[in-house]
């Protein structure tokens, strides 16, 4: 069904491109503006849980996702030194039966390629690369968007331009994120270089004092994605493209279980990067009239619940539903914000809590481990059951 509204999206990452696809599928005309030369995503692995994969499947992306993903059998938490399993949840066929969608492990670049291919194929999406947004103006009838080289006019503007969002800054001024005291490492390990059975087909989190180590398969099991977070100060570079040194990573995890040492020994040095983790408190307001925010621009999420991308994908579906349900754009964007603020704030806060829980030591860690064995998957169940496709 054709829709006469023309929506502009600043930022062609996972959230922005998903939003473009959702809107285009409902007949909206969408202009997607990306400051880079192409729609690409840096980084390594990403976890896509059922609360967001149902949105991607609804867009018809299931075949492409399955061809590029790894389907994990569950999640587990292990002790940093002994390797003992603290808690384990198995997915199996019941996960799809229960939630109506699978859990994928996928390389960020592969996910972005799936989204970009679909966007290029959509007749309702116009992609503008090398288009850095510099500002906007709005009145009661439209929004005018300015880039380095030209201006555009449309019905609404969605700022999906990340934690350093220009759109957010133009509305609310400069608000510097706070350093969390954590530095994250990411790396890839070729699976064929590891002993058989070393890495189980699960998302595995090793808990240790002041640090943790996560690994899981991507690229159909051909690569192991590693994300390692360490509490440290004196280095606060927030960049996904800052190379790291294997010797420093090895020193950070000295004394950890032999499985971790073997992973570190086989890391592809060219894939090793580190970045400082920054955080923002939940925002009290996202948008003004015909302009609003999406994803990390309004709710950047630490990687301790594996929900950052999932929240932006959920945003995309709810935003589309609201714009379709309300003829008045301002009312639609206000409704979208109202529906999303509480859930995304809870995920932000939960991720922040996990950053402390994962790194406990001594007696607190002992009681954490006992609780984890008892608590099981309650939180995951509540998280996965959310259906953004029904929110409007």
Domain count, the chain: 1
Indicate whether 170 belongs to any domain: yes
Using one digit for the tens of pLDDT, what is the confidence trace for 152-174?
Answer: 999 999 999 998 899 999 999 98
Mean pLDDT of all residues in the chain?
92
Give me the pLDDT at residue 100, please: 93
Indicate whether 167 belongs to any domain: yes
What is the spatial distance between Cα 180 and Cα 351, in angstroms, rounded to a whole number? 12
Instruction: Please calculate the CA angle 378-212-247 and round it to the nearest 5 degrees.
Output: 160
Give me the pLDDT at residue 206, please: 97
Indicate whether 52 belongs to any domain: yes
* pLDDT band per the 50, 70, 90 thresholds, residue 92: low
Indicate whether 284 belongs to any domain: yes
Q: To which residue do tokens 């939940």 refer?
A: 282
Catalytic residues: 216
Q: Of all residues in the chain, what percent carry a pLDDT higher than 70?
A: 95
What is the spatial distance between Cα 42 and Cα 278, in angstroms, rounded to a whole number? 17
Residue ranges with strand state E in the chain: 6-10, 29-33, 45-48, 74-79, 85-90, 104-107, 125-128, 133-138, 143-147, 151-154, 156-159, 178-190, 203-208, 211-218, 223-231, 273-279, 291-293
* pLDDT band per the 50, 70, 90 thresholds, residue 195: very high
Using one digit for the tens of pLDDT, what is the confidence trace for 49-72?
Answer: 999 999 999 999 999 999 999 999
Indicate whether 373 belongs to any domain: yes
Using one digit for the tens of pLDDT, what is the confidence trace for 302-358?
Answer: 999 999 999 999 999 999 999 999 999 999 999 999 999 999 999 999 999 999 999
The 3-class secondary structure across 235-281, one letter per residue, is CCCCCCCCECCHHHHHHHCCCCCHHHHHHHHCCCHHHCEEEEEEECC
- Could you give the 3-state DSSP secondary structure of residue 7? strand
121 contacts 44 by C-beta, under 8 angstroms = no
Indicate whether 266 belongs to any domain: no
pLDDT at 127 over 50: yes
Q: Is 300 exposed, middle or buried (0-12, 13-18, 19+ CB in 10 A)?
A: buried
Q: Pairing between strand 104-107 and 45-48?
A: antiparallel
Indicate whether 187 belongs to any domain: no
Domain region containing 96: 6-176+280-390
Give me the pLDDT at residue 243, please: 80
pLDDT at 378 over 60: no
Using one digit for the tens of pLDDT, what is the confidence trace for 282-312?
Answer: 999 999 999 999 999 999 999 999 999 999 9
Which CATH number is 340's domain given? Answer: 3.50.50.60
Using one digit for the tens of pLDDT, what is the confidence trace for 238-276?
Answer: 665 678 889 999 999 999 999 999 999 999 888 899 989
The pTM of the full predicted model, rounded to 2 decimals, is 0.94
Position with higher pLDDT, 149 vs 376: 149
The CB density around residue 164, as the number of other CB atoms within 10 Å, is 15
Indicate whether 19 belongs to any domain: yes
């Amino acid at each position: 069904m054709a829709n006469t509204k023309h929506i502009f999206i600043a930022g062609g990452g996972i959230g922005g491109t998903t939003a473009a696809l959702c809107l285009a599928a409902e007949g909206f005309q969408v202009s997607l503006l990306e400051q880079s030369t192409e729609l690409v995503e840096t980084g390594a692995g990403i976890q896509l849980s059922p609360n967001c994969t149902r949105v991607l499947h609804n867009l018809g992306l299931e075949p492409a996702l399955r061809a590029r993903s790894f389907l994990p059998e569950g999640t587990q938490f292990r002790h940093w030194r002994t390797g003992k399993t603290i808690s384990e949840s198995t997915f199996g066929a019941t996960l799809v039966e229960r939630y109506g969608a699978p859990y994928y492990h996928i390389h960020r670049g592969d996910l972005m390629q799936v989204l970009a291919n679909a966007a290029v194929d959509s007749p309702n999406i116009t992609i503008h690369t090398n288009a850095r947004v510099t500002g906007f103006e709005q009145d009661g009838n439209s929004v005018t968007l300015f880039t380095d080289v030209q201006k555009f006019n449309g019905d609404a503007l969605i700022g999906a331009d990340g934690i350093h969002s220009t759109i957010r800054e133009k509305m609310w001024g400069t608000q510097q994120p706070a350093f969390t005291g954590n530095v994250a490492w990411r790396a890839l390990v070729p699976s064929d270089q590891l002993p058989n059975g070393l890495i189980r087909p699960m998302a595995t989190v090793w808990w240790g004092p002041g640090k943790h180590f996560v690994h899981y398969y991507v690229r159909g099991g051909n690569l192991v994605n590693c994300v390692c977070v360490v509490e440290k100060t004196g280095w606060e570079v927030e960049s996904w493209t800052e190379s790291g040194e294997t010797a420093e990573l090895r020193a950070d995890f000295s004394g950890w279980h032999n499985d971790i040492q073997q992973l570190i020994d086989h890391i592809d040095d060219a894939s090793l990067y580190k970045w400082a983790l920054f955080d923002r408190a939940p925002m009290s307001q996202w948008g003004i009239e015909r302009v609003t925010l999406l994803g990390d621009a309004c709710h950047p999420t630490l990687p301790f619940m594996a929900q950052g991308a999932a929240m932006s994908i959920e945003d995309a579906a709810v935003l589309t539903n609201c714009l379709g349900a309300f003829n008045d754009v301002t009312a639609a964007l206000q409704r979208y914000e109202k529906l999303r603020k509480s859930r995304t704030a809870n995920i932000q806060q939960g991720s922040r809590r996990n950053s402390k829980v994962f790194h406990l030591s001594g007696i607190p860690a002992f009681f954490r481990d006992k609780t984890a064995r008892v608590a099981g998957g309650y939180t995951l169940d509540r998280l996965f059951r959310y259906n953004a496709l029904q929110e409007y």
